[in-house]
Amino acid sequence: MRIEQQVIDQHNQKLEAKHRRAFNYISEEVSDVEALLEKVQQFQIAIPSWALGTGGTRFGRFTGKGEPSSLEQKIEDVGLLHALNKSSGAISLHIPWDIPKDADKIKDLAASYDLVFDAVNSNTFQDQPGQEYSYKFGSLQHVDPTVRKQAVDHNIEVIKHGIALDSKALTVWLADGSSFPGQLNFREAFQNTLESLKEIYKHLPEDWKMFVEYKAFEPNFYSTTIADWGQSLLLANKLGDKAYTLVDLGHHLPNANIEQIVSLLLMEGKLAGFHFNDSKYADDDLTAGSIKPYQLFLIFNELVDGMDAAGIDHATGLGWMIDASHNLKDPLVDLLQSVEAIKIAYTQALMVDRKALRAAQQANDVVKAQEILQGVFRTDVRSIVAEARLRSGGALNPVGLFEEAAVRTKLIEERGSNSVATGL
C-alpha cells in the first residue's frame, strides 16, 4: 500500500491550528529558526530491514500480523515510514536475509518510494543452510583458515550486492569471541580477525567505507574479539582510511560514557556512525530515547560540536541508522517513535548556545554549563520537528496517522495474518 498525499494533507489540516500555536511560540525562542528547520528537514535516518518484523527475545518470538515476507514488502514498509515522517529515506539490507534477485528492479522500486540503500550488513554469526563450515567457534577470528576464508568470501559477496544497489558502506558485526577462559588465544583471535578484515578491505570500492561494529558481550560471554571502541579503533586504524568505528548504543558495559567515546572518535576522524536504540541493561534494542533521552541529547550535543569543528556535513557525513526491534509494539510504529526521538535530540543539540557553553567551560562555571545544556533539553521542540516534517510533505503526527489510516489493517488485508518477516 501507499499513503496518498491527500490523506496526509487532510490529517495535517485537522492539526494545523494547534501546531501553529506551538510552533509560533517556540520560533520566538530560537535565533534562526529557518536555518534550523532546513537542517532538521535534511536529516535522514536509515531503517534496517530486520526491524520491520516483530522482534523477539532469545526466548521466544511473537510474530505480528501482516509482516513483510519479501524484500519488496520490506521496501514498501520503509516507504510507508518515509511517507509519514519524510526522515526515513534509506534502507539497510542484511545479506543473506535480503538478497536482491534483480538489483535494478529493487533499486527502481526503492526509488519509487524516494528511498536509497544505506550500508549493507554481512552475517557470519549464523550458519546458513548448505554452508560448508560452521561459525560455531567464530568466523573472521577462526583458528581454521578455511573457515576464515568462507567468512571473508561472504563479505566480498555482500559488497557485490551493495555495489549493485549503490550502497556505499559495509557494516561488519561479529559474534566472534569465547565463552570460557582458555578457549581462545586473544592475540591470535585479534590477528586472525585483522588479517580477514584486511582481505575484505581490499575488495571495497574507492568511495566505500567499512564500518567495524563493536559489542561488549553476547552471544559470547567471556570475551568478544571486537568488544569495545578501543579494539574497533585499533582495527580501523590498522586497516586504513576507509575503515571506521561504528557505535551501537546498546553495545557498551553499563553506564559507559558514550558521548565521550563519540567525541573522541570524531576528533580522530574515525567515527562511522550509529546504530540507534535504547537499553536499560544490555543490548536491549528498545526504542531510541525511550529509557535515556538525556543521554541521546548529550550524544547529539557532542556530534554537532565535533562535526562542526571538523566541517562534516550533519546529514551526509556519518551513517545514521536505527538498530532496534522487540516484541511488544507494532514495529513500524516503534520505528516512527525512534526516528522522532532522534530528531528531537538532534534539534535540541542544534539549539545549544555553543559560544556560551564554551565560555562557561573556560571559566570553570559548572553551574552555567549545566544550565545551558539542561535548558535546551527541557525545551519542548516537538513542533519544530513537526514543522520540518510538514514542509517536507510528511504528517504532523506520524504515529497518529498510522492508526487513523489503519495502515496495519490494510497490510494484513494485503499480506495475510500469517505473513512472517524473514531475518531475525
Residue closer to ligand AOS by CB (options 88, 325) is 325
Residue closer to ligand AOS by CB (options 38, 157) is 157
208 binds ligand AOS (CB under 6 A): no
Which is nearest to 293 in space by CA: 349, 224, 239? 349
User: Quick one: the chain helix, strand, coil %, rounded to 5?
Assistant: 50, 10, 40
The per-residue DSSP string of 194-213 comes to: HHHHHHHHTTS-TT-EEEEE
Which of 213, 302, 330, 340 touches ligand AOS (CB under 6 A)? 213
C-alpha cell, 2:
501507499
Which is nearest to 422 in space by CA: 128, 214, 163? 128
**Measured CA angle at 289 (ends 85, 390), to 5 deg:** 20
Residues 232 and 265 sit within 8 Å (Cβ to Cβ): no
Residue closer to ligand AOS by CB (options 276, 300) is 276
CB of 285 to ligand AOS, least distance (A): 7
Residue closer to Zn ion by CB (options 118, 323) is 323
176 binds ligand AOS (CB under 6 A): no
- Starting at the earlier edge strand, list the strands of the sheet with 90-92: 47-48, 90-92, 116-117
CB of 399 to ligand AOS, least distance (A): 24
- The residue count of the chain comes to 424
Q: Which does 424 bind (CB under 5 to 8 A by kind): ligand AOS, Zn ion, none?
A: ligand AOS
278 binds ligand AOS (CB under 6 A): no
CB of 258 to Zn ion, least distance (A): 13
Residue for grid cell 586473544: 186
C-alpha cell, 301:
550535543
**Measured CA angle at 413 (ends 407, 416), to 5 deg:** 115
Q: Which does 19 bind (CB under 5 to 8 A by kind): ligand AOS, Zn ion, none?
A: none
CB of 372 to ligand AOS, least distance (A): 33
Give residue number: closest CB to ligand AOS: 173
334 binds ligand AOS (CB under 6 A): no
Residue closer to Zn ion by CB (options 248, 334) is 248
283 binds ligand AOS (CB under 6 A): yes
Helix (H, G, I), strand (E, B) or coil at 178: strand
173 binds ligand AOS (CB under 6 A): yes
Site for ligand AOS in 28-67 (CB under 6 A): 50
Report the interface residues with Zn ion, using CB under 5 A: 248, 275, 283, 323
Residues 181 and 191 sit within 8 Å (Cβ to Cβ): no
Residue closer to Zn ion by CB (options 66, 331) is 331
Which ranges of 256-311 would DSSP assign to H, the alpha helix? 258-267, 293-310
C-alpha–C-alpha distance, residues 107 and 299, integer Å: 33
Following CA atoms 389, 119, 301, 296 in sequence, which dihedral angle do they give, to the nearest 10 degrees?
Answer: 80
Number of residues that bind ligand AOS (CB under 6 A): 11
CB of 94 to ligand AOS, least distance (A): 6
Residue closer to ligand AOS by CB (options 251, 389) is 251
Which of 76, 176, 248, 302 touches ligand AOS (CB under 6 A)? 248
Residue for grid cell 536529516: 43
Please name the helix (run of DSSP H) or strand (run of DSSP E) that holds residue 289, with its range, or none. Answer: none
424 binds ligand AOS (CB under 6 A): yes
**What track of x and - describes contact with ligand AOS for positions 291 through 330 (by CB under 6 A)?**
--------------------------------x-------
C-alpha–C-alpha distance, residues 262 and 252, integer Å: 12
Site for ligand AOS in 71-130 (CB under 6 A): 94, 121
Residues of the shown chain interacting with ligand AOS in the complex, contacts defined by CB under 6 A: 50, 94, 121, 173, 213, 215, 248, 275, 283, 323, 424
